[in-house]
Amino acid sequence: MRFATYEYQGAERAGVVQGRTLHPLSAGVTVLSLVETETLHAAGAEALGRPSELTVDQVRLLPPLKPPSIRDFVGFEAHIEGVSKSLDGLEHVPEEWYRAPNFYFTNPHAAYGAHDEVPVPAGCSVLDFELEVGAVIGRAGRDLTPEQAREHIVGYLVFNDWSARDLQKPEKNLGLGFSKGKDFANTLGPYLVTADEVEDRRDADGFLDLDMTATLNGELIGRDTLANVSWTFEEMVAYAARDTWVRPGDILGSGTCGWGALAEFWGRVGERTPPPLVPGDEVTLTVERLGSLSNRIVTGRGDAYLPRARKRGRTPRP
């Protein structure tokens, strides 16, 4: 099943998508509440039993759910190769990358819908997109094995982890992780596609073989398969749940696929070609079976609040 959250006639609702038809769920019901109560399929089947004349073309698609947290992994070796050279000048993948499926926490409060306009963040002149798949947790768990973790994934969605590359680089140099270079926008959607919808695309090693493409202003510029990720989602969930909890609605990003971001091209060719995103550009990211996100870049706020540190002005107390 495919679940959507949408805005229609000034109201926010959730529904099940069949073809282009939207079958509304009961008023007040959210996708997250159904995930939390493990009643997603039952509620979806009930909604599909009611006739509907509403289509996805008549509504504004919102993020399918409001995630409590978003962990974003860096799972594709090809992406690390290109971006490492672009941002850090490295000619190789750092050895630390191979040791574990590392992730960072990004902002669950900066989510955009599948067709929303995305403004350039304040102070940014090197804007980039990132093509990922997000796995959605459907059941709480702690200290899981990869085998157990499969039962805790309720579904998947397309995830654009936007990046302000010029803000990201100095933040990285501080060693605390990303802040304003990453927390301004995450596009999620268009739907939450339940795990059973893609299970037949799982290969012998447990990886989901789903085609992933990125187009810029209608031109195809990047292509990969989710099967090229270096860890399965089950392995990533198990790692995330080590010594802590994953909770219903949490999203775990796969990391950007190979050729899924402009910075990769910049690292490989040694120049910013294609150039950074500017207002008017339209980015479309598509994952087989999961759908497409298509966002147009618009002008953001002109000023950038950037308070400089106060240098120590007095002698420390003894």
The CATH number assigned to the domain holding 131 equals: 3.90.850.10
Of 1-5, 167-171, 172-176, highest mean pLDDT:
1-5
Residues 129 and 153 in one domain: yes
The mean pLDDT value for 23-48 works out to 98
Domain presence at residue 309: no
Residues 57 and 88 in one domain: no
pLDDT digits over 77-115, tens only? 999 998 887 777 777 898 999 999 999 999 999 999 999
Residues 90 and 159 in one domain: yes
Is the bond leading into 274 cis (omega within 30 degrees of zero)?
yes
The mean pLDDT value for 279-304 works out to 95
Residues 56 and 76 in one domain: no
pLDDT attached to residue 194: 98
pLDDT attached to residue 306: 83
Do residues 24 and 47 make contact, with C-beta atoms less than 8 angstroms apart? yes
Residues 8 and 109 in one domain: no
Question: Helix (H, G, I), strand (E, B), or coil: what is residue 154?
Answer: strand
More confident residue, 46 or 85: 46
What is the share, in percent, of the chain residues with pLDDT greater than 90?
A: 85
Domain boundary among 62, 80, 95: 62
Q: Is the pLDDT of residue 312 over 80?
A: no
Domain presence at residue 307: no
pLDDT attached to residue 248: 98
Domain presence at residue 313: no
Q: Is the pLDDT of residue 316 over 70?
A: no
Could you tell me the CA-to-CA distances from 55 to 4, 44, 45, 187 in Å, in that order? 11, 16, 18, 21
More confident residue, 303 or 116: 116
More confident residue, 278 or 301: 278
Domain presence at residue 318: no
Could you tell me the CA-to-CA distances from 253 to 70, 124, 170 in Å, in that order? 7, 24, 23
Residues 57 and 166 in one domain: no
Residues 53 and 74 in one domain: no
Domain boundary among 62, 78, 99: 62
**How far is the C-alpha of 1 from the C-alpha of 148, rounded, in Å?**
22
Question: Helix (H, G, I), strand (E, B), or coil: what is residue 282?
Answer: strand
Domain presence at residue 303: no
The mean pLDDT value for 12-28 works out to 97
Residues 199 and 222 in one domain: yes
Mean pLDDT check: name the lowest of 85-94, 180-189, 292-301: 85-94
**How, if at all, do strands 111-112 and 118-119 pair?**
unpaired
Residues 271 and 174 in one domain: yes
Residues 195 and 121 in one domain: yes
pLDDT band at 176 (very low <50, low <70, confident <90, very high): confident
pLDDT digits over 214-249, tens only? 999 999 999 999 999 999 999 999 999 999 999 999
- Fill in the amino acid letter for 248: P
Q: How many domains does the chain have?
A: 2
State which H helix or E strand residue 11 sits in. strand 11-18
pLDDT attached to residue 314: 67
Residue with token string 């910049």: 266
Selection from 24, 75, 19, 77 nearest residue 49 by Cα: 24
Domain presence at residue 78: yes
Domain boundary among 36, 62, 88: 62
pLDDT band at 169 (very low <50, low <70, confident <90, very high): confident
Do residues 300 and 120 make contact, with C-beta atoms less than 8 angstroms apart? yes
pLDDT band at 301 (very low <50, low <70, confident <90, very high): confident
Residues 166 and 280 in one domain: yes
Residues 265 and 281 in one domain: yes
Phi, psi of 46 (to 5 degrees): -65, -40
Domain presence at residue 311: no
The residue range of the domain holding 182 is: 70-298
Domain presence at residue 113: yes
Q: Whole-number mean pLDDT of the chain?
A: 95
